[in-house]
Amino acid sequence: MMKALIFGAAMLAAGGAVAQPFDYGFAGLMANKNRETLAPLTLGSGKPVAEEEYELKSGTYYKMNIVADGSAELALSGGDFFRAIWINEIVINKIEIRPMGVHSLEFDDAGEAEISFIAITPGSYTLSIPGSSGESQRAVFNIR
């Protein structure tokens, strides 16, 4: 640290410019204008979770709502999907949660959660209702 300060001071004294910290580009990537909104996932007794598969692009910022109607206590589980994305935040009742990792989200009553994330690892992933086996009880995410 001290060497960096001495080097920076020497560069300024010599009339040189000091390099700026590297910009990883997240500020631009995560701007609202760069975010794509996905069709919501629905949790309801006997209702399909998603209408069709989601086609995502690696490196793209997405926002998606998960809506539960309260007809049953239901969860969405999918550790592989959650490890294939970087979660910016999950918002529940205007409370922003910035998790290090997620395995599932469970709704005991009617409610809504909004998740914003960047798709990272290409592959096909599912979020499904634990214990269910029906095709309509899961959402498929294909990251390219």
Residue 9 lies in a domain: no
CA dist 140 → 12, 49, 123 (Å)? 55, 10, 10
Note the pLDDT tens digit of each residue in 5-18: 444 444 445 554 44
Using the predicted structure, report yes or no on whether residue 60 has a pLDDT greater than 80: yes
Note the pLDDT tens digit of each residue in 25-54: 555 555 556 789 999 999 999 899 999 999
Query: Which residues, other chains included, contact 97 with Cβ-Cβ below 8 Å and sequence gap of 6+?
Result: 89, 90, 91
Residue 62 lies in a domain: yes
Instruction: Give the domain range for residue 104.
Output: 25-143
Residue 12 lies in a domain: no
Note the pLDDT tens digit of each residue in 77-103: 999 999 999 999 999 999 999 999 999
Mean pLDDT, to the nearest integer, of 116-135? Answer: 95
- Domain CATH code at residue 52: 2.60.40.420
- Tell me the pLDDT of the chain averaged across its residues: 85
- Tally of structural domains, the chain: 1
